[in-house]
Structure 1
C-alpha cells in the first residue's frame, strides 16, 4: 500500500510539471523595457494586424506583450508579441 501511495504521488507530481510546461508563456525578449515599444505603439500595431475586441492586454512575466481577443477572421486568440519588434512570437487560436 505504501509503495502505491509513493507511486501515485510521483505520478501526480510529474503530471503537474508537464501541465505547467504546456501552459508556460514563451520568452519574447531579454531587452530592457527602455528598448520596448510603448503600449500605445504596440496596441496600434496589433490593430493594424487585424486583432480586435482585445479583452486583455498585459506584459507577461517572460518579456512579452500578451493579448486575448479575436483575430481578423473572428477567431478567439491568445497572442504573445516581441515587445521590441512587435512580431508575433506565439499565437494560440481557440
Structure 2
C-alpha cells in the first residue's frame, strides 16, 4: 500500500511539469508512414502555391511539415501541414 501511495505522490509532483510540455507539442498531422509523405521539395512547392512566402524555416515536426514564414498579405505565419495531403492542420497567423 505504501508503494502505491509513493507512486501516486510522484505522479502528482511530475504532472505539473509534464503537462505544460505536452501543451507545446505540435498537432498530430498523420498516422501514415514517412514513405507515404510528399517529398520536402513537393511540399515546399505546394506551400508556395498556397501563397506562403519568405519561408524562414521549413522542417519536420512530429508527424507534420511545419513552416515559419509569411502569408501573401505579409502576416507572420506558423503553419503545420499534413505531409501526405498537404492540407493545413493548424496555423497561427499574427
Q: Normalised by the size of structure 1, how large is the TM-score?
A: 0.78
Cα RMSD (Å) of the superposition? 2.0
CA separation in 1, counterparts of 2:23 and 2:77?
A: 17
Match of 1:88 in 2: 88
CA separation in 1, counterparts of 2:88 and 2:82?
A: 6
CA separation in 1, counterparts of 2:44 and 2:55?
A: 10
1:1-94 aligned at under 5 Å gives the runs: 14=16, 16-61=17-62, 63-94=63-94
Report how many aligned residue pairs link the two structures: 84
Q: Normalised by the size of structure 2, how large is the TM-score?
A: 0.78
The answer to which of 19-28 and 51-60 deviates more is 19-28
